[in-house]
Amino acid sequence: MAHDKSQPTKEALRHKVQMTQEKIDRYGKLNGDDDILHYDHDYAVKRGFRGTLAHGMHNMAPAVDLALEKYGKDYFYRGQISVRWTGPVCPGDEQVTVLDADDNVVATVDNVPGKGTATIMVGKSTLRDK
């Protein structure tokens, strides 16, 4: 199962998704970009990455879903999300995204050479004027 949701505590919501090149390609086909960082493994490695990069906005999508799960209808009218990408998600990575009780977002991937678990995105997904 590439896409799994669970609620490990009452406070935090968690989302897991497995990244593949096929998924990067599918998002890129819709997104309409042609940046070779997403498709050319050798170029990405030359730029210092482990492999091709998933699109940052693709990585952000689980944080929107988690906030929708938490806030429902209000998020469509008052939703606020801000994220900073701190690392890449590459094919083979499992991205785990957590929305905590204070609406902080942290997304990580495991098994990064030399790092183990690496944080790839931090931010906030909340309501305006909450």
Partner 1 sequence: MTRPAEVKVLEGLTPGTRFDQFEVGAKMNEVRFTITPEIIDEYIKAVEGDEKLYVVDGRKAAPPDVLCVYMTSTLYQKYPPIQGIIMCEVAFGYRHPIWRDESTEVRLSGEVTGKFVKKARKFIQWKGRYKRADGTLLAEVENTFSVPE
E strands present in the chain? 3-6, 13-18, 79-85, 94-99, 104-112, 116-127
**Candidate ranges 6-14, 33-41, 97-105, 107-115; the one touching partner 1 (CB under 8 A):** 33-41
In angstroms, what is the C-alpha Rg of the chain? 15
- The single residue among 9, 26, 101, 115 that binds partner 1, judged by CB under 8 A, is 26
30 binds partner 1 (CB under 8 A): yes
- Distance from C-alpha of 46 to C-alpha of 39, rounded to nearest angstrom: 13
65 binds partner 1 (CB under 8 A): yes
- Distance from C-alpha of 71 to C-alpha of 129, rounded to nearest angstrom: 13
42 binds partner 1 (CB under 8 A): no
Phi, psi of 4 (to 5 degrees): -140, 135
CB of 71 to partner 1, least distance (A): 10
Which residues lie near partner 1 (CB under 8 A)? 2-3, 5, 17, 23, 26-27, 29-37, 47, 53, 55-58, 60-62, 64-65, 68-69, 73, 75-85, 128
